[in-house]
Amino acid sequence: MTTVTKEAGAPVPADAGAFLSVRDLHVSFATEDGAVRAVDGLSFDLERGRTLGIVGESGSGKSVTNLTVLGLHNPMFTTVEGEILLEGQELTTARESELERLRGNKVAMIFQDPLTALSPYYTVGRQIAEPYMKHRGASKKAAWERTVEMLGKVGIPNPRERAKDYPHQFSGGMRQRAMIAMALVCDPDLLIADEPTTALDVTVQAQILDLLKDLQREFGTAIIFITHDLGVIADMADDIMVMYAGSAVERGTTEQVLRSPQHPYTWGLLNSMPRLDSDLGTPLAPIPGAPPSLLNPPSGCRFHPRCTFRDRVGGDRCVTERPLLAPDRAAACHLTAEQKRSIFVDEIRPRLG
């Protein structure tokens, strides 16, 4: 188990051995209507060669967390508190020049839409070669050879010729592969993949996931894989962190979270997933309601307005008291361990099939 999460207000010492250690991270944006608390007390560790899957609906804070790790937030409008330690180096106070050095060299990101990362004005090959020259001090010729090698690794046919193409000459799947080549060209120690396959058809998606696994085996990269798709997470992640309204609500190994989930929100996510073995006519069961506004989040447990189990806790505890995440395998929920187990076994699992 490599991931440790805990809510705000309950300090956990950073794991000295972790490659990436995030502690009590708070990220808020100033808006005309007030501060939006996009990340509200998040802690986790990640070791080299491991994949942490972060799941949650839109607005759960998963993408903001990772943009903050990369230093890609706008400091004019964003307040960041807490610690982000990369091999012991504090990133929240690092200069932009230092973050720039880390990005593309030690840390890289794959975005959902390759067109946000690839410029239409330069050839694909040039865009892969340039970070290699910049961060590794390679000559133009060596960088071009490296580019051809990387395009071949990500499965672009005839890479020496295709490197001279512009992004619009590539298909969507090929652009995604090119972006992966660009992200991996400097052998980053940490790769953040934000919904990297959402826009692709299932065949290309499966190829790209296999590719990431192969590359991780080869380079020992630590990966943060962000998605709302628990099926993809089951395939990719060693550990899972479930986020809701800016906080972690459940975490554990992939097997623990998927086989015996403990949080009502995780139950809802699992229940709303389409399954290959169910009848086409079987309706999905979406989680009732919508994620809360982070301008004015609900009191107590942030999930309480949507939770169908809060009556089992008794009194108004779910509305008044925010549940914390314990430092071991846990869910941030006031239900007792026995309640979580019996609700899952008797009421949730039969619905999951």
Q: Can you give the binding site for ligand SF4, defined by CB under 6 A?
A: 264, 301, 303-304, 307, 309-310, 313, 318, 323, 333-335
Are 242 and 263 contacting, i.e. CB atoms less than 8 angstroms apart? Answer: yes
Output the smallest distance, CB 263 to ligand SF4, in A: 6
Of 178 and 333, the one with the shorter C-beta distance to ligand SF4 is 333
* Nearest CB to ligand SF4, comparing residues 18 and 331: 331
Tokens coding 205: 């998606």
> Please, what is the minimum distance in Å from the beta carbon of residue 348 to ligand SF4?
13
DSSP structure string for 221-271: -EEEEEES-HHHHHHH-SEEEEEETTEEEEEEEHHHHHHS--SHHHHHHHH
Determine contact, residues 42/5, Cβ cutoff 8 Å: yes
Q: One-letter amino acid identity for 328?
A: D
CB 140 within 8 A of CB 134: no
- The token pair at 314 is 């008794």
In the complex, least distance from residue 93 CB atom to ligand SF4, rounded to whole angstroms: 34
| DSSP code at position 344 | I
Judged by CB, which is closer to ligand SF4: 172, or 305?
A: 305
Smallest gap, in angstroms, from Cβ of residue 319 to ligand SF4? 8
Nearer to ligand SF4, 231 or 315 (CB): 315
Amino acid at 244: Y
Of 69, 61, 11, 72, the C-alpha closest to 39 is 61
* Nearer residue to ligand SF4 within complex by CB, 85 or 313: 313
Between 46 and 301, CB nearer to ligand SF4: 301
Q: Are 128 and 153 in contact (CB under 8 A)?
A: no
Instruction: Indicate the helix (H) or strand (E) that contains 243.
Output: strand 239-244
* Structure-token match 């295709």, residue found: 162
- Give how far the C-alpha of residue 317 lies from the chain's centroid of Cα atoms, to the nearest Å: 30
Nearer to ligand SF4, 71 or 292 (CB): 292
Output the smallest distance, CB 340 to ligand SF4, in A: 9
Q: Report the relative pairing of strands 51-55 and 78-86 from DSSP bridges.
A: unpaired
**3-class DSSP state for residue 86?**
strand
Closest CA to 327 of 251, 243, 234: 251
Instruction: Work out how close the CB of 61 gets to ligand SF4 at its nearest, in angstroms, rounded to a whole number.
Output: 17
DSSP state of 310: G
Residue nearer to ligand SF4 on the CB measure, 34 or 288: 288
Closest approach of ligand SF4 to the CB of residue 324, in Å: 10
* The two structure tokens encoding residue 110: 């794959």
Distance separating alpha carbons of residues 160 and 178, to the nearest angstrom: 13
The tokens 């026995």 sit on which residue?
338
Residue in 27, 28, 23 with CA at minimum distance from that of residue 9 = 23
The least distance separating ligand SF4 from the CB of residue 306, rounded to whole angstroms, comes to 8
- Residue 86 or 333: the one with the smaller Cβ distance to ligand SF4 is 333
**In the complex, minimum distance from the CB of residue 307 to ligand SF4, in angstroms, rounded to a whole number:** 3
